Chains A and B, each alone.
Chain A
Amino acid sequence: MDKGLQKFLRTNQRQAAPVSIDIPLISNQEVWLNIALIKQYHENMPRGEAEHVAINALQRLGLGDIAFKRNPDLTNEERFCAMLIRASMVRDALVVIDRPFKIIPHLKDVDYIFQALKKIEDFYSSCHIYDYEWVAEKYGALCQ
């Protein structure tokens, strides 16, 4: 993980919500449990309610069918979205996406990521993306 990103996580300890290949989903739990865990642990939200929140969030991205799947059964896109929703469950989340093209290597540009972020924009306070300079062209006008 990049030093800048580590510093960001340290300075925004409570709100920092990373999406990174180095912070994987818990593989022996279903996707909805990975997402609900944040609400259950930090807000003591009852299991049923947390399940509802998690499944609703997945449905917003059109991924309601992956709620009961586990990490190894997901495609790269599904895995990214599950990690993104998990991160957005943090209260007043400052979502930090660490090298998104490492999570979905075959993406040509960031459109897919931005579309996903747009669909759940009310879940988080802000979003930051960290990536290598040499993939700047994939971000198009954003990096000019």
Chain B
Amino acid sequence: MTILENIGRLTITLMKSFAETISFAGKVLYRIFQPSTYNSATRTVLVNQIYFTSVQILPLFITASVIFGSLLIGIVFQLLKDLGLTQFIGNVLMGLIVTELSPFFTVLLITLRSGSAINAEMAVMKVNKEIKTLETFHIDVINYLLVPRIINGIISLVLLSTLFSIVLMSSGILFSRIIFGMNIDVYSNILLNSANFSDIVIALVKCACFGFFITLIPIHFGLRASHELTSIPIVVSRGMVSVFTAILIIEVLSLITKLI
């Protein structure tokens, strides 16, 4: 009985948390499409956030993409050659690496760097009573803090994922020449013939969803901090676990969509 009770209690807690997050997401989404949300202050925050998330990370991101992407492409091409599956090179590149791996790699990197930072930033603001400062001066917390960060998440994920795909495909030029003796025209033709519009749309929508949730969830959990310093690590850890759960759910949903 106790075990059943515990399972029930856990399920109720999880469902409540899920419902709260979805309802919060709905509220934020509504604000994103309200023109009155935007003013000089929100634009300043948006520009700063894009700089912190997408521009400052570029050296690390490009280095990681070149090293990881090139090695991966090299191994995949070698494997395709060994298995005699050279004709599927385009499908593997576009269907697996560009539409699946790029968003996943990007979301992991951005979550580790920016998601955790946003989570801690919100919790510290709550503990320091800075959220109260905003409320006292009639500055809407959703409009000023949340909307710019979430839009930045969406823009950054889409752009960085595209950049990762470009780096991978560029590495592909080199490796297709070394491994298959293929020239750039043949390689480009194979890629273009394998490009599936619906796959690209799904990949972009997936990136946008990742961007939305990896910023929304850390903010949501960060704002749950109490006024005690000890609540910061608790909300950060809960937030990050929830973000990784959200990433897995979105990934699974996108795979199901592709299968259908």
Do chains A and B stick together as partners?
A: yes
Does A11 belong to the interface (CB within 8 Å)? no
Count the A-B residue pairs with Cβ separation under 8 angstroms: how many? 53
Pick 25 A–B contacts, CB within 8 A, sort by A.
A17-B137, A23-B129, A23-B132, A23-B136, A24-B128, A24-B133, A26-B125, A26-B130, A26-B134, A27-B125, A27-B130, A28-B125, A33-B44, A37-B41, A37-B139, A38-B137, A40-B41, A41-B137, A42-B138, A44-B39, A45-B40, A47-B43, A47-B44, A86-B137, A90-B137
Q: How many residues of A contact B (CB 8 A)?
A: 25
B40 touches A27 (CB 8 A): no
Interface hits, B97-156 → A, CB 8 Å: 121, 124-125, 128-130, 132-134, 136-139, 144
Q: Which A-chain residue is minimally distant from B44 (CB atoms)? A: A47
Give the residues in chain A near B134, CB-CB below 8 Å: 26
Q: Which residues of A contact B40 (CB under 8 A)?
A: 40-41, 44-47, 50
Distance between A114 CB and nearest chain B CB, rounded to angstroms: 24
Check B136–A9 contact: CB distance below 8 A.
Answer: yes
> Is A24 within 8 A of B136, CB to CB?
no
Interface size class of B (residues with CB under 8 A): 20 to 34
Q: Is the C-beta of A14 less than 8 angstroms from some C-beta in chain B?
A: yes
- Closest approach, in angstroms, between the C-beta of A33 and any C-beta of chain B? 8
CA distance in complex: A44, B43 (Å):
10
Whether a CB of chain B sits under 8 angstroms from the CB of A22 is yes
Q: Max chain A CB contacts within 10 Å: which of B43, B44, B125, B138? A: B44
Residues of the A chain whose Cβ atoms lie less than 8 Å from the Cβ of B125: 26-28
Instruction: Give which listed residue, A23, A40, A44, A90, contacts B133 with CB less than 8 A.
Output: A23
- Residues of chain B lying within 8 A (CB to CB) of residue A18: 136
Rounded to whole angstroms, the CA-CA distance of A59 and B41 in the bound complex is 22
Output the least CB separation between A7 and chain B (Å): 14
Min CB distance B141 to A, Å, is: 12
Chain B residue at smallest Cβ distance from A38: B137
Most chain B Cβ neighbours within 10 Å, of A33, A37, A47: A37
Query: Which B residues are in CB contact (< 8 Å) with A46?
Result: 40
- The answer to whether residues A22 and B121 also contact, given A37-B139, A47-B44 and a CB cut-off of 8 A, is no
Closest to B144 in A: A41
In this complex, the member of B129, B133, B138 whose beta carbon has the largest number of chain A beta carbons within 10 angstroms is B133
Q: Are A22 and B129 in contact (CB under 8 A)?
A: yes
A13 interfacial by beta-carbon distance below 8 Å? yes
Chain A positions 100-114 with a Cβ under 8 Å from a chain B Cβ: none
Contacts of B44 in A (CB 8 A): 33, 40, 47
Q: Considering the chains assembled together, what is the distance between the CA atoms of A45 and B42 in angstroms? A: 11
Given A23-B136, A50-B40, 6 other A-B residues pairs in contact with their CB atoms under 8 A: A22-B132, A24-B133, A26-B130, A41-B137, A41-B139, A47-B43
Which residues of B from 28 to 73 have beta carbons under 8 Å from A? 39-44
CA distance A29 to B72 in the complex (A): 41
